[in-house]
């Protein structure tokens, strides 16, 4: 039941068909498909730049198409509102990854890693929508 709630919350935050919420699943898929993992550290219900990044980039059809072909997407959400609370297991999972990849507590933070967990690049919200974000990804990948 808690897993279903976490999936429902993830789906409301970002397109659940593209976004995973478990790093081990993401690493397995990344290795199988030879794609990097894009981790999104987000505060879906309190962080204005996170919400802007989701609306301007992650929900854009151009980005979705690009991601489908080139990325494995991993959402690491840190909601604050009680109604959006994640399961304890998901919260611990996200906090563990934040301790490893987001030590400064930046939101939003996008971290690109390979299937072994090695960091390729980090960025945050960038103006310019999906086209600009895809251009950035192309430049670092």
Q: What is the pLDDT of residues 121-138, one digit of tens each?
A: 999 999 999 999 999 999
List the domain boundaries for the chain. 2-140
48 vs 32: CA distance, rounded Å? 35
Helix, strand and coil in the chain, % to nearest 5: 50, 15, 30
The tens digit of pLDDT for each residue in 16-73 reads 578 999 999 999 999 999 999 999 999 999 999 999 999 999 999 999 999 999 999 9
The class level of CATH for 2-140 reads alpha beta
List residues bridging with 77 in a β-sheet.
42
Per-residue model confidence (pLDDT) at position 8: 41
Number of CB atoms found within 10 A of residue 115's CB:
18
pLDDT band at 10 (very low <50, low <70, confident <90, very high): very low
Listed in sequence order, the residues at least 6 apart from 51 whose beta carbon sits closer than 8 Å to its beta carbon are 44
Residue 6 above 80 pLDDT?
Answer: no
Q: Is the pTM value of this prediction over 0.95?
A: no
Residue 20: HSE in the Cβ half-sphere, 13 Å Cα cutoff? 19
């Amino acid at each position: 039941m808690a897993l279903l709630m976490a999936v429902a919350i993830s789906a409301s935050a970002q397109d659940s068909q593209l976004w995973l919420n478990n790093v081990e699943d993401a690493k397995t898929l990344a290795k199988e498909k030879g794609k990097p993992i894009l981790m999104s550290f987000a505060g879906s219900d309190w962080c204005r730049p996170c919400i802007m990044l989701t609306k301007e980039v992650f929900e854009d059809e151009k980005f979705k198409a690009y991601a489908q072909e080139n990325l494995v997407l991993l959402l690491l959400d840190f909601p604050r509102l009680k109604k959006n609370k994640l399961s304890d297991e998901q919260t611990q999972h996200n906090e563990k990854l934040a301790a490893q990849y987001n030590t400064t507590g930046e939101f939003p933070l996008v971290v690109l890693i390979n299937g072994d967990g090695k960091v390729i690049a980090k960025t945050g919200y960038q103006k310019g929508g999906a086209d600009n974000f895809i251009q950035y990804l192309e430049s670092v990948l």
